[in-house]
Amino acid sequence: MATMSSTAMFRPSFQSVRSCTKTSAMYPSLSMISRRSSSRRRSMAIKAELNPSLVISLSTGLSLFLGRFVFFNFQRENVAKQGLPEQNGSTHFEAGDVRAKEYVSLLKSNDPVGFNIVDVLAWGSIGHIVAYYILATASNGYDPNFFG
């Protein structure tokens, strides 16, 4: 007998759901507004002004081109000016640190100038950063007006 009374007490009640339907019946204008806005949301589609694949590809390609043909000599000259890191007037390798020697096979390439994988990754990441900046500023309505 205790089990019957406990099941009767915990019988699910759907009174709160019915009350929601009654309020929408009492205020039809509110339910119509919500239906209209939901149908508008479904039909609206976000369209980008620029094709992201094209912008990223062109920006990365331009960056790699500039890094290889324009800034390569400038960058290599600055690295040569800096030289190797020193401690007490001698390089780390001369001071006895055998692991301080550069890993040369990673930096070798078949490029006539010597544009290697590190340069490709560095200039490619710069190109991606520029592309994402262009896409972000174009999508939020920012118009820098560079040419006009």
Model confidence pLDDT, tens digit, residues 53-70 = 999 999 999 999 999 999
pLDDT in tens, 135-147: 888 877 776 676 6
pLDDT of residue 56: 95
Residue 26 CB neighbour total at 10 angstroms = 9
In the chain, beta strands by DSSP E: 86-87, 90-91
Does the pTM surpass 0.85? The reply is no
pLDDT of residue 130: 95
pLDDT in tens, 22-33: 555 555 555 555
Please choose, from the candidates 132, 115, 126, 133, the residue with its C-alpha nearest in 3D space to the C-alpha of residue 60.
126
Residue 69 CB neighbour total at 10 angstroms = 11
- Looking at this protein, which amino acid is placed at residue 88? N
